[in-house]
Amino acid sequence: MEKTVEKTLVIQRYNPEHDQTPSQQSYQVPFDNSTSVLDALLYIQQSLDPSLAFRWSCRMAICGSCSVMVNGIPKLGCKTFLREYSGDLLLEPLAHFATEKDLVSDMTLFLQHLQAVKPYLIRQEQSAATTPASKPQPHKQTPKQLAKYRKFSSCINCGLCYAACPQFGLNPEFLGPAALTLAQRYNLDSRDQGKAERMPQLNGKNGVWGCTFVGFCSDVCPKHLDPAAAVNQGKVASATDFVIGLFKP
């Protein structure tokens, strides 16, 4: 299709080398039905302004690196289309994160929070190395057991939920939707035995109880994971953990 219609993209610019505060810059971008926000950014970078910085990789909503704010709402650039907007588009870096340059956010905090909940299978049993005679066995799982955590397992770490979460905005130490969802995902996995190691993080003041169920995180999640539900299921787990703790010597 021929691209004749143009749209105005207003982009927040910030260059750490010489800017004290961010400013805005407008670009005219030709578009058709299939032009995504990421396509538009690539067009600007290639044809209008090579200095524009933004992240991207897969272009198919899998890598989670193209997250930006479009008109104030956290979006994946590659999954958002110019045709969806009647007026101009305002593009800003993810809210609640520091801006490295232009649309590139500093995701360090996010990655630290993900790590904090030990998002991997933890087994308590002896490792195969100590019992050389026995080969490591595969861990079987029934479809029913899989169904328990499956919907929480498709996170692409895009960080949109953190940009939607005012609690994370107010307290950057709050572990946040994705990390708490990931904790829940592993706690619900029948092969995992690490729940006891994760609960202190979840029970802590920056854990599940920091969430007030604003619910916007679930709305913006490009994979429809419902992180708000996962975090609040974590509250049930945390409360259960507390009650059980009362009866333990």
Partner 1 sequence: MSEQHPPRRPYHTPLTGSWWLKHRYYRLYMLREATVLPLLFFCGCLIAGFYSLQQGETSWLNWLSFMAQPWVMALNALTLAASLFHAKTFFELFPRVMPLLPAPLMIAGQWLATLAVATLLLLLLGGLL
Q: Tokens representing 85?
A: 């907007």
- Pairing between strand 89-92 and 6-13? parallel
Residue 7 DSSP SS3: strand
H-helix or E-strand spanning residue 70: strand 67-70
136 neighbors 68 (Cβ within 8 angstroms)? no
Site for partner 1 (CB under 8 A): which residue of 3, 28, 49, 98? 98
25 neighbors 90 (Cβ within 8 angstroms)? no
96 contacts partner 1 (rule: CB under 8 A) = yes
Q: Which does 14 bind (CB under 5 to 8 A by kind): partner 1, ligand FES, none?
A: partner 1
CA dist 42 → 61, 65, 198, 200 (Å): 16, 14, 41, 44
- Least Å from the CB of residue 160 to ligand FES: 10
By CB under 8 A, which span of 59-67, 78-86, 95-103, 193-201 interacts with partner 1?
95-103
- Least Å from the CB of residue 29 to ligand FES: 18
Site for partner 1 (CB under 8 A): which residue of 16, 136, 200, 245? 16
Binding residues with partner 1: total (CB under 8 A) = 30
Sketch the per residue contact string, 170 through 209, with partner 1: x for CB under 8 A, - otherwise.
Answer: x---------------------------------------
- Least Å from the CB of residue 166 to ligand FES: 24
The contacts of residue 21 (CB under 8 Å, 6+ apart) are 14
